[in-house]
């Protein structure tokens, strides 16, 4: 069976010209990273085939499958929880200590937790500020915010050819994932390529720009910079 290569241009044609809302991929078909992002942006659902080969490259259909839902993971049962409590009591008794009260165990629920975000499943929405550059199709998705009890915020952003002005009332770090990101200031142009990290200090007046397309991860401090 012939393998297909899906680029961003093909995705746009499927949506705008053919009116497709779902694309069923064949085994071995390849969707480029930019095509995946355009599919998410345009609301095109990609249905991936089942694959058994874990060694396929990152842009292959198999590597883009969603992980098993959390509901599929085994959960502890009341019996297991009761056994754990009895073991804790036995250990405390052997050490000559009283068992910790239930309230102490419950207090651990409020302890700091690690938050994981699957970047492959993040849907990008329109940039919430009017920059008067519709041709750039700037998109953004916040993935870590103050609601996560974080002093920093983080998210993904994409933009197409062009540039727009921005003044930072916060500190920001950009990690370039794909494409080419330009940060323009009065001192010149800083070019970020995939894998590059750029720090922009609070108070900077810049132009976000790209000669073609860029996707990057941003981290801002503080998290509630916009109020």
Q: Give the model's confidence band at 112: pLDDT under 50 very low, under 70 low, under 90 confident, else very high.
A: confident
The pLDDT score that the predictor gives to residue 133 is 93
Residue 52 has pLDDT above 70, yes or no: no
pLDDT at 83: 57
Of the CA atoms within 13 Å of residue 133, those in its CB half-sphere come to 20
Confidence of residue 93 (pLDDT cuts 50, 70, 90): low
Average pLDDT over residues 72-92: 54
Q: Pairing relation of β-strands 22-24 and 45-47? A: parallel
Q: Which domains does the chain have, with CATH numbers?
A: 5-64 (no CATH), 119-221 (2.60.120.10)
In this prediction the pTM is: 0.59
* Confidence label for 28 from pLDDT (cuts 50, 70 and 90): confident
Which residue from 190, 188, 185, 135 is spatially nearest to 165, judged by alpha carbons? 185
Residue 221: which H helix or E strand, with range?
Answer: strand 205-221
| Model confidence at 173: pLDDT above 80 | yes
CA 60 – CA 27 distance, rounded (Å): 10
Identify which of 46, 14, 49, 68 has the alpha carbon closest to the alpha carbon of residue 123.
Answer: 46
Say if CB 182 and CB 192 are below 8 A apart. yes
Q: What is the mean pLDDT of the chain?
A: 80
């Amino acid at each position: 069976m012939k393998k297909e290569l899906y680029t961003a241009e093909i995705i746009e044609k499927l949506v705008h010209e053919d009116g497709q809302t779902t694309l069923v991929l064949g085994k071995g078909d390849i969707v480029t990273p930019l095509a995946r992002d355009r599919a998410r942006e345009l609301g095109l659902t990609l249905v991936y085939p089942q694959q058994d080969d874990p060694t396929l490259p990152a842009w292959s259909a198999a590597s883009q499958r969603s992980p098993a839902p959390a509901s599929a993971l085994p959960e502890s049962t009341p019996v297991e929880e009761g056994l754990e409590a009895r073991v804790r009591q036995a250990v405390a008794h052997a050490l000559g200590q009283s068992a910790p009260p239930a309230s102490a165990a419950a207090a651990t629920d409020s302890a700091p937790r690690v938050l994981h975000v699957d970047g492959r499943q993040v849907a990008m929405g329109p940039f919430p500020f009017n920059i008067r550059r519709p041709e750039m199709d700037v998109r953004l998705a916040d993935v870590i915010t103050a609601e996560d009890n974080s002093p920093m915020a983080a998210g993904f952003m994409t933009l197409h050819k062009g540039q727009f002005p921005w003044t930072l009332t916060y500190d920001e770090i950009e990690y370039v994932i794909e494409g080419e990101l330009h940060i323009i200031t009065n001192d010149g142009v800083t070019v970020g390529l995939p894998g590059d990290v750029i720090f922009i200090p609070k108070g900077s007046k810049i132009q976000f720009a790209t000669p073609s397309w860029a996707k990057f991860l941003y981290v801002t401090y503080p998290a509630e910079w916009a109020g």
